[in-house]
Every structure is written in C-alpha cells, then in structure tokens.
A and B are shown apart, each in its own frame.
Chain A
Amino acid sequence: MPHDGHHHDHDEGSELSPLALRVKALESLLVEKGYVDPEALDVLIDTYETKIGPRNGARVVAKAWADPEFAGWLKRDATAAIASLGYTGRQGEHMVALFNTPETHNMVVCTLCSCYPWPVLGLPPVWYKAMPYRSRAVIEPRQVLSEFGVSVPETREVRVWDSTAEVRYLVIPERPAGTEGWSEEQLAELVTRDSMIGTGLAKQP
C-alpha cells in the first residue's frame, strides 16, 4: 500500500534498506502465490539491461540519414520501417518519427507519466521520468534545452510532443555536416540517446 514517502533508499551496505526489504518481501509473496515466475523476472531484467537500448534507435537514425528511401518510409509509417530492423513491441506499438529541420526542433516528453519508445531507446533515464522535466518541457522548453547545453535559434520552432496516448515518438536529429559518404555504422556513432529525445543534437564528426 502507499506509504508516507519516507522510504527513500539509502546507500546499500550490508543491510537492505526498508524499501529493498519490501520489494524482496513482495517478490517472495507473489512467487509463493504462483502469480509470477522468478525466472521470467530474470529474463525481463536481462532484456532491458542488455538487449534493448538506444543503440537500436541510433541504427534507425543512421539508416534514415544514409538511405533516402528508408527515410521516406520512416516518415510515412515509422512502426513498419522500424520493425524492418527488428525493433518492435512493448511501448513501441505505434511509432512516429519526428524529423528535425532548419525550421523545427522536436522534443519529446510525457507530462502525465513516463511514456517512452522502449524498443528503440530502452528504459528512460531518471531525469525523463522526474518532475522537473515533466513539468517544464511544455512551458519552458528553451530553458530546459539550455540546461542540456542546446541552444535553438529564435527563428526556429521548438515543437514539444507530449506523449498522451500510446503513440511513441523518436526524434531524427539533423545529420551533421562533413559526414558525406560515411557508412551507417560510422553515422550511428554520432547519434546520442538525448538527440533522439530532442534534448540533444547529434555529435559533430
């Protein structure tokens, strides 16, 4: 049941924090009741620790930069185009790709919870789920961007996408100059997680 908010985790030394004990107790209880398979828990954890992360999204972006036909497909039907690279499923069932342009800088938030495109970016970072970003991204996006070291020209629209439904957004940052002829693998190295949320730009070569 909801407690009073004083169960903040402390540094875990030899003793478990009160919250760690509660989670452990709940796991034993749910396993004893037969609601969950402990090995399934291990697979879930391993999947999001090692298999699904922002390298997936970087591959999508790099392919969009290198292959105009793929970029067109991504614009028309991002779910199918992304699925063609093997990235599908939970929290990515309805994908939309947002292409940054000289006119528009896109930035994604979920003010109501923590919606995030898991198959291409993995689990969201703490700041994305925390109150400062969720509260401020829609009302003062430029100040938030400046805290990430990003400055968008006054003439360019900052378009914030609040993920209020089951549509999930992937920002396609602008391709850096001086990367003509680069392979997709090389290009993917320039794509940061934040650049695909819209709180960053692609790295310069």
Chain B
Amino acid sequence: MNGPHDMGGFQGFGPVMPEADEPVWHHDWEPRAFALVLAMGMTGSWNIDQARHARERLAPVSYWSSSYYEMRHYALVLQLIELGLITAMEEETGRQAVLPKPVKRVATAEMIPAILSSGSPYGRPSNTAAAFGVGEKVRTLNINPAGHTRLPRYARGHVGEIVTIHGCHAFPDSNAKGEGEDPQWLYTVRFTAKELWGKDAPDSVCLDLWEPYLEVFT
C-alpha cells in the first residue's frame, strides 16, 4: 500500500540526528515494549509480513509522530485486537475480561536463546528457473496494491540491472494476506541515481526485489 512507511525520497523531515554514545534504550518502557513485540511474534499468531503490514496501516499522522517503539506498540495492539487475542476494553484496563485464545507456542525463558540464534530463514526451494540473469536489464512494474508490497514507490516503473540472484524467498505480497508464502525468485537490482532521481551523479541504489515486481526491458 502507498502508506506512511514508504519513506524513500520524501523531503522535509529534516536532518539526521546521530547521538553520540547512544544507549540501547531511551525510556524505561522501551525494553518492555520491544520484548512484548518479540514474544508475541513467537506465539506464531502472525508472520513477519503481517506484522509489517500492521505498522503500515497505522494512521499516517500517528506513524510519523510516534517514536519507533511507540509505533511498534500501537501496531502490536492493533494486531492483538484484530485477531481477537485481546479486546479493546482489556487493552484499556490491562485486565483479562474474556478467556484467552489458544496460541501455537508460548516461548519460555529457556527457549529464547535457541529461537533467536536459529532465526527464521526465508529461502525456499525452487521448482522453476529464474527468469532473469545477472547483468540483465529489467523494468519494475508500476503497481499500487492496496495490500502489502516491498516494492517502494520511488522504485516503480524504473529500469535497473540484476546484480545478484538470491534464490527463491517467501513472497511478502502473498504472505501478508495469509495466502501462503508463494515463494518467488529474489534479485538484487541496481538503479542509477540518474534513473531514479534524474541526478547526474555516479551514485546508485540497490534493492532486493521479487520476480513478480519485474519485467524484461529491451
């Protein structure tokens, strides 16, 4: 969707503000909010693309004016309520009013190190040949889906060159809808600054793009 998350190329957000010797957390509630997002993710109630899409569906003014962990908290609450894992009233009071729904897994303290160190690889076996080869020119489609996509607005309808083939990966556009992983070939595609921004500079931007975002350019 053309949501508030799609930031590439926006102007007017001001300078980058690096902080010397930045601490991991800036407020006491941040580590708790962070850990709740991770621990609820481990219940298997949603996949990574559904979690991203929840953030994208926050109201733009809320998305842009919230700190990062604040935004993550709001998106978590949105998902919990949508899935019926909690109710809006329970969120207000912090007290259980209806019985919990079953979840696939509750991660205990002992399970955490193994879960974190194994991660969730997204590479999948392929049963088709890759449509494009390294060095080939491709054009990105001009798409504006209402759902989740990982093709940013600034890179739509542009010509780039394949630099890497990563194999097949779970396809976010499908996965975010709960319609299965529908694995697709994933490529790194390099676009010149001239192509994307009309700039005379030797610079470029590389994006990781799935095959359904691309067409042959001749």
Binding site for B on A (CB under 8 A): 1-5, 7-9, 12, 16-17, 19-20, 22-30, 32-37, 39-45, 47-49, 88-94, 96, 111-114, 122-123, 125-127, 129-139, 141-142, 144, 147-148, 154-167, 194, 199
| A23 and B93 contact, Cβ closer than 8 Å, known pairs A36-B106, A44-B112 | no
Bound CA–CA A8/B69 (angstroms):
11
Q: Is the CB of B6 within 8 A of A111?
A: yes
Contact partners of A37 in chain B: CB under 8 A: 39, 106-109
Q: Is the CB of A35 within 8 A of B68?
A: no
* B138 at the binding interface (Cβ < 8 Å): no
Closest approach, in angstroms, between the C-beta of A192 and any C-beta of chain B? 11
Bound CA–CA A142/B152 (angstroms):
21
Q: Is the CB of B94 within 8 A of A24?
A: yes
Which residue in B17, B109, B201 is a CB contact (below 8 Å) of A132?
A: B17
| A134 and B118 contact, Cβ closer than 8 Å, known pairs A23-B32, A129-B68 | no
* A-B residue pairs in contact (CB < 8 Å), sample of 18: A2-B78, A19-B70, A23-B36, A29-B86, A29-B91, A40-B39, A48-B24, A49-B24, A113-B52, A123-B24, A127-B16, A130-B17, A134-B7, A135-B7, A138-B154, A157-B204, A158-B201, A162-B8
Contact partners of A123 in chain B: CB under 8 A: 24, 34
Bound CA–CA A25/B91 (angstroms):
7
Closest approach, in angstroms, between the C-beta of B110 and any C-beta of chain A? 8
Contact partners of A41 in chain B: CB under 8 A: 32, 35-36, 39
Which residue in A113, A156, A157 is a CB contact (below 8 Å) of B5?
A: A113
Which residue in B68, B94, B109, B188 is a CB contact (below 8 Å) of A126?
A: B68
Q: Is the CB of A148 within 8 A of B205?
A: no
The interface bits of chain B over 59-102 (1 if a CB of A lies within 8 angstroms of the residue's CB, else 0) are: 10110111110100111111011000110101111111000100
Binding site for A on B (CB under 8 A): 5-11, 13-19, 22, 24-29, 31-36, 38-40, 43, 48, 52, 55, 58-59, 61-62, 64-68, 70, 73-78, 80-81, 85-86, 88, 90-96, 100, 103, 106-109, 111-113, 115-123, 150-152, 154-155, 164, 166, 169-170, 172, 186, 188, 190, 196-197, 201-210
Contact partners of B202 in chain A: CB under 8 A: 154-158
Which residue in B52, B62, B112, B186 is a CB contact (below 8 Å) of A40?
A: B112
Bound CA–CA A12/B166 (angstroms):
46
Q: Is the CB of A135 within 8 A of B208?
A: no
| A9 and B29 contact, Cβ closer than 8 Å, known pairs A1-B81, A138-B8, A142-B201 | yes
Bound CA–CA A123/B88 (angstroms):
30
Bound CA–CA A162/B158 (angstroms):
15
Which of A3, A12, A16, A155 has the most B CB atoms < 10 Å from its CB? A3
Bound CA–CA A44/B6 (angstroms):
29
Closest approach, in angstroms, between the C-beta of A182 and any C-beta of chain B? 25
Q: Is the CB of B206 within 8 A of A162?
A: yes
Bound CA–CA A139/B196 (angstroms):
8
Closest approach, in angstroms, between the C-beta of A88 and any C-beta of chain B? 5
Closest to B72 in A: A114
